[in-house]
Structure 1
Amino acid sequence: MTQPTIRIDFDRELIASLPASGPRYTSYPTADRFHTDFQAADLTAAIRQHDNQQPLSLYIHIPFCNTICYYCGCNKIITKDKSRADEYLNYLDKELTLLAQNWQGKPKLAQLHFGGGTPTFLSDEQLARVFDSIYRHFTLTDEGEYSIEIDPRKVSRDTVLFLGQLGFNRMSVGIQDFNPEVQKAVNRIQSEAETREVIDAAREAGFKSVSVDLIYGLPHQSIDTMRDTLEKVLSLLPDRLAVYHYAHLPHIFPPQRRIDINTVPDSSTKLDILQNTVNILLQQGYIFIGMDHFAKPDDELAVALAEGRLQRNFQGYSTHADCDLVAIGVSSIGKIGRVYSQNQKDIEAYYADLNADRLPVLRGYTLNDDDVLRRSIIQDLMCRFSLHFDDYKNRIDQDFADYFAAEYKDLAQLSAKGLMTLSDTGLEVSPKGRFLIRNIAMVFDAHLRNRETKAKYSQTV
């Protein structure tokens, strides 16, 4: 099996010369372009056009958390009352039932992802309830990817084994940092022992992949503290790692007001931490997948990258061919054909719509031909680090360079900076540009180019 040979050049001067923030492109157009003119009828019409022979993906948002992590920007509800989840699951079941009225039979489920919040806030019995609903409306397969986000502080070995029995075969484990001072500053006290117990249990249960999440830029972090954390993390032998940048935006995420900004590392130190982290991961044999993701050479993501099959969706990088995504739960976002749809972000509004037998659609977007074209281009950039202009010649009635004349000028400038090699037939992203792929993708974002937005994007590096 051929493995990708992807080299990264960490050019700090180049990083500093480019826009510091931009979209993550889990979708194009990005969610800040969704609008409230989009209605539930637009979503149901799209679902009815779905080819029933094609599998679906399902995302389920569980918003509840026992405690609050100060850095978190997710849509969440802090509570210790599990009866609130019982009520919520009733509404999840109703939403899925309303959606399933728009397709025939029980389509195959290619992917399933439980996100949050904290999905393992749910008890074993509550998790089983959700799976009963899933089995009523979908056909699960041996080759499907069924993943769940795990908080090791709230999960026992027995629960992990139960998750495997339910059908989960992939797990994402939140760690962020093992340093006690950092953990205290962000209100997430989590031991290495309890994290290891969960990961060991996942392997015992036959999970195919275990991913861990880390965050750099948290209070009190330094190169040394992050190196210690990374040493402990690597001893757990994760199949995948995601290394995210902490964005301190307390005016958007109020819990961050509890973080002392004076303890957050400055921009130069954050780049030091990231650069050192990346070097260690590469030295340990992990493959750079893209943006902030790394995987072992034999992991499915690395293999998909090598074979040109890598995809990107709302949950990040994926190995499955692009397929329609049904999303249920408060604030969740789905994609059906040319349609994006987001649910109500407020749980009472979510409940009110379902009580009225309405799908709880807050906003959405229907892509035009240009959007679909640019979505494909951005997908190629994010997942393959290259573009071959001939791949698009049948979708536009003129030369690529003419259709994208303004973009071509920007690409030439980025090429001059060393981010890529640009020719008449395509472009190849350079080792310097791979870590800055979001900056390259932004060139093709017509909405970003032509329309203002009040959205606050995360830092590109």
Structure 2
Amino acid sequence: MRQDLIEKYGEARLPRYTSYPTAPGFSPTVGAGTYGDWLSAIKPGTNASLYLHIPFCRSMCWYCGCHTTIAQRDAPILDYIDMLRKEIGLVAERVGHRPRIRHVHFGGGTPTIMQPEEFRDLIGLLRARFTFTAGMEIAVEIDPRTLTPEMADALGATGVTRASLGVQSFDPVVQKAINRIQSEAQTAEAVARLHMAGIKGINFDLIYGLPHQTVASCIETAKAAVLMRPERFAVFGYAHIPSFKKHQRLIDERALPDAALRAEQAEVIADTLAAAGYVRIGLDHYALEDDSLALAARRGRLHRNFQGYTTDACTTLIGFGASAIGRTPEGYIQNEVPPGLYAQRIASGRLATVKGYRLTAEDRLRAEIIERLMCDFRVDVTTLAARHGFDGAPLLDGNARLAALKEDGGIDIRGGTVTVRQDHRFIVRAVAAAFDAYIDQSARTHSKAA
């Protein structure tokens, strides 16, 4: 990797582009009334996905960038699940029929913080309100430290097909610095429990750029993780934004690696996973060659949404819970973030939407360009623009960001097609930002590009 490109682009704060426009551009002008209209416009037979946010954990990991609350007692969790059930009812009534569900994702926080019976009941309610299709995926994010045999059995019995386990790092020095002590044995035991419950799709999350993390410890963590043979890995760079996540102030900034070291850590993890038989997918995902994600990438059918890289092609994503983001063909919507305010809205019989974004024709074009770049590292701007009814030339000519990237040798532009050079994959977010009409309005809220 070229050091000059790392120094120039690695320190830039850029979106992860799990949506376009990104969440900082959402506005209160799109609220509950608009969302209600969009739900009512969903046609019978529509394929859709569901996202349920469970914003509770037993302890706070200091690196965490998620919307979550620490709950030592079960009472607030039970109250929240009751509101979640009410929201599912409100949304289903607005839709007025049973959309065909292809994917369900439980995110957090820690979704498995609820009791097994509560999870079974929640899945039962979703099945009663929506049509679960054959071969659909149900995914759940899991903290291996708190997964019980009873919860693993409940996940298997309710049809969960994929479990994403937070690993981050097995280095005890790093774990102490981020307030997350988790042994290899705990993780392996969680994997074994899930396999025994019939759940074969296992994902691991790893993070680089953490305090006191070294290249050597990244390699050791990756080697230990591949021995457990998960089907997929997601490898993220730590986003240090203490102005927005106050618990991150507990992390010693002096112990954080610089952009060059972060890039080196990312590459040694990539090399270790590749040597173990994992295919690199997009910017930060890895999968075994016969995994559906790897197959989608090879066939040009990879997609990107709020959960990262996915095979999910649905344009309707219904989000439930505090801070949940959803999407309909008309645009994006987001619920109240604080669980208390979310609960107040639902208890009053109102949808919890507080902001969103109505997509324009140009937004849809730029969104597809960015998605293809993030997924394929290549996009035919001219052809896509024509398909959307636009002239692609203005997106390329006079594009200062794109011109700088080309001059620096990070990309090639030929015949209206932009290609990110394979040895400079780490700058893909910078390339995507060249097509982001709103990038200068939201830069301070995003993580570093490398």
Specify the TM-score bucket, using the shorter chain as the normaliser: over 0.9
Give 2:180's aligned amino acid: R
Whole-Å separation in 2 of the counterparts to 1:128 and 1:397: 48
Identity among equivalent positions (%) equals: 36
Q: Deviations over 1:95-119 (max 9, x none)?
A: 1111111224322211111011111
CA shift in 2, pair 1:397/1:330, >3 Å: closer
SS at match of 1:134: helix
Q: Deviations over 1:172-198 (max 9, x none)?
A: 000111112211221111111111111
The aligned residue for residue 83 of structure 2 is 91
Give 1:77's aligned amino acid: T
Whole-Å separation in 2 of the counterparts to 1:229 and 1:394: 45
Whole-Å separation in 1 of the counterparts to 2:385 and 2:442: 28
The aligned residue for residue 215 of structure 1 is 207
The aligned residue for residue 12 of structure 1 is 3
Contact 2:201–2:231 (8 Å) recurs in 1: yes
CA shift in 2, pair 1:214/1:403, >3 Å: closer
Q: Deviations over 1:358-402 (max 9, x none)?
A: 10111111011111111111111111222222233142353x114
The aligned residue for residue 171 of structure 1 is 163
1:341 aligns with 2:330: no
Give 2:129's aligned amino acid: H
Unmatched tracts of structure 1, length 5 or more: 1-9
CA shift in 2, pair 1:190/1:402, >3 Å: closer
Which of these residues, 407, 411, 420, is aligned with residue 416 of structure 1?
407
Give 2:445's aligned amino acid: K
Which of these residues, 54, 60, 63, is aligned with residue 68 of structure 1?
60
Structure 1 residue 208: Cα displacement: 4.0
Structure 1 residue 261: Cα displacement: 2.5
Contact 1:418–1:432 (8 Å) recurs in 2: no
Contact 2:47–2:314 (8 Å) recurs in 1: no
Give 1:279's aligned amino acid: D
Give 1:396's aligned amino acid: G
SS at match of 1:406: coil
CA shift in 2, pair 1:413/1:108, >3 Å: same
The aligned residue for residue 390 of structure 1 is 383
Whole-Å separation in 1 of the counterparts to 2:232 and 2:152: 18
The aligned residue for residue 452 of structure 1 is 441
The aligned residue for residue 310 of structure 1 is 302
The aligned residue for residue 3 of structure 1 is none
Which of these residues, 130, 139, 150, is aligned with residue 147 of structure 1?
139
Whole-Å separation in 2 of the counterparts to 1:38 and 1:289: 34
Which of these residues, 14, 18, 39, is aligned with residue 31 of structure 2?
39
Contact 1:112–1:145 (8 Å) recurs in 2: yes
Whole-Å separation in 1 of the counterparts to 2:365 and 2:55: 34
Instruction: Judge which range, 431-440 or 342-351, deviates more.
Output: 431-440
Q: Deviations over 1:288-334 (max 9, x none)?
A: 11121111111111100001111111111111223300001001100
CA shift in 2, pair 1:415/1:93, >3 Å: same
Contact 1:327–1:333 (8 Å) recurs in 2: yes
Give 1:393's aligned amino acid: A
1:437 aligns with 2:428: yes
Whole-Å separation in 2 of the counterparts to 1:397 and 1:263: 48
SS at match of 2:296: helix
Alignment of structure 1 residues 118-129 onto 2, 5 Å = 118-129=110-121
Whole-Å separation in 2 of the counterparts to 1:103 and 1:141: 18
| Structure 1 length-normalised TM | 0.93
Contact 2:54–2:106 (8 Å) recurs in 1: yes
Instruction: Judge which range, 182-191 or 357-366, deviates more.
Output: 182-191
Structure 1 residue 263: Cα displacement: 2.8
Whole-Å separation in 1 of the counterparts to 2:273 and 2:3: 18
SS at match of 1:153: coil
Alignment of structure 1 residues 216-231 onto 2, 5 Å = 216-231=208-223
Structure 1 residue 254: Cα displacement: 1.3
1:280 aligns with 2:272: yes
Whole-Å separation in 2 of the counterparts to 1:403 and 1:456: 25
Whole-Å separation in 1 of the counterparts to 2:4 and 2:150: 49
Whole-Å separation in 2 of the counterparts to 1:277 and 1:62: 30
Contact 2:147–2:190 (8 Å) recurs in 1: yes
CA shift in 2, pair 1:427/1:73, >3 Å: closer
1:299 aligns with 2:286: no
Contact 2:289–2:295 (8 Å) recurs in 1: yes
RMSD of aligned residue pairs (Cα, Å): 1.7
| Structure 2 length-normalised TM | 0.95
Structure 1 residue 84: Cα displacement: 1.4
Structure 1 residue 403: Cα displacement: 5.2
Give 1:315's aligned amino acid: Q
Structure 1 residue 69: Cα displacement: 0.7
CA shift in 2, pair 1:390/1:260, >3 Å: closer
How many pairs were matched up? 448
Give 1:445's aligned amino acid: D
CA shift in 2, pair 1:50/1:405, >3 Å: farther
Give 1:427's aligned amino acid: V
Q: Deviations over 1:434-457 (max 9, x none)?
A: 232111110110112xx5336421
Contact 1:71–1:256 (8 Å) recurs in 2: yes
Contact 2:49–2:314 (8 Å) recurs in 1: no
The aligned residue for residue 134 of structure 1 is 126
Whole-Å separation in 1 of the counterparts to 2:50 and 2:161: 15
Give 1:99's aligned amino acid: V
Unmatched tracts of structure 2, length 5 or more: none
Instruction: Judge which range, 13-22 or 305-314, deviates more.
Output: 13-22
SS at match of 1:218: coil
